[in-house]
Structure 1
Amino acid sequence: MKYINYILIVLGAIVAIYSKAGEEQNQYVLIAGIIILMTGVYRISKTIPSKNSEEEYTEDNEN
Structure 2
Amino acid sequence: MINTKKQALYTAFIIIGAIMLIYDLTGKNENVYLKIGGLLILMIGLYNSTKQWASDNPKDDNTPEDEK
Using the size of structure 2 for normalisation, the TM-score is 0.69
Count of equivalent residues = 58
Identity %: 31
Give the Cα–Cα distance (whole angstroms) in 1 for the partners of residues 45 and 54 of structure 2.
17
1:11 aligned onto 2:6: no
Matched with 1:58 is 62
Give the Cα–Cα distance (whole angstroms) in 2 for the partners of residues 8 and 49 of structure 1.
18
Q: CA RMSD in A?
A: 2.2
Q: Which runs of 5+ in 1 are unaligned?
A: none
Q: Which runs of 5+ in 2 are unaligned?
A: none
Matched with 1:40 is 45
Runs of 4+ with deviation above 4 angstroms: none
Using the size of structure 1 for normalisation, the TM-score is 0.73
